[in-house]
Amino acid sequence: MTFQRARSEEQREIRRQAVLDTALAMLDEMPVAELSLNELSRRVGLAKSNVLRYFESREAVLFQLLERAMDGWLAEVPDELAAGVDPSLPARERGDQVAAVVGASLARRTVLLDLVNAQTNVLEHNVSVDVVVRHKRSALGYIATAAGLLRRYVPELGDGAARNVTMMTLILAGTLSTYCRPSPSALAAYEADPAVAALRLDMRATLEDAVATLIAGTLARS
């Protein structure tokens, strides 16, 4: 794809979306840390200098993808929770059902979790303070929205506890997403020695258990 020079706001927005769409496709092939601005520019059909007209750095592109991915998740998970949680059950059982829904929902969103996990060591470098501030404000909104969903089904948690559980859930999910995708060498080790295979974790089951424990423990402390 090769673009002519953008002369209108509409054309500039088309360029921006092309950059984002191309970067998203690349994340299906490679981890966040390996996505380079040079390769992104080549694939989108723009000079590197032109890509930088729309985004101040590779990390600014990744921040936009993180926000897009969070928007997508928060648009779908309310219906999943409505279908998967029985509001007539006791708080502990509702918490377990919420954990099952959230664990399954997040486990499917590999790109979202890769970006969450890369926030502090990749995304928050080589960007201006303005970009980080804007993203942090967006993150506060996402956390508030997700915590509101949690309170809808487990109101016993309260506002502060629901927010803390939400933040820890996202952090755990991001970390587990890396840990639960072992390297070829690790996979070979599990095959060679079944005794160490106990260290291989299933993303969905492990996240579900962790979130259920977070919710149950927070309810118990309350």
Query: Encoding tokens for residue 222?
Result: 């309350």
Beta carbons within 10 angstroms of residue 66's beta carbon: 23
Q: Give 212's Cβ-side CA count (13 Å radius).
A: 16
Q: Give the predicted TM-score (pTM) of the model.
A: 0.87
Tell which residue, 155, 149, 146, 159, has the closest CA to residue 91.
Answer: 155
For each of the domains in the chain, give its residue range(s) and CATH number, in order of start: 1-55 (1.10.10.60), 57-221 (1.10.357.10)
pLDDT truncated to tens, each residue of the chain (222 aa)? 444 555 667 888 888 999 999 999 999 999 898 999 999 999 999 999 999 989 999 999 999 999 999 999 999 999 999 999 999 999 999 999 999 999 999 999 999 999 999 998 889 998 999 999 999 999 999 999 999 999 999 999 999 999 999 999 999 999 999 889 888 999 999 999 989 988 999 999 999 999 999 999 999 997
CA separation for the pair 126, 4 (Å, rounded): 28
Q: Are 58 and 71 in contact (CB under 8 A)?
A: no
Q: Quick one: which of 9, 3, 129, 135 has its CA closest to 61?
A: 135
**Which one, of 132, 110, 104, lies nearest residue 119 by Cα?**
132
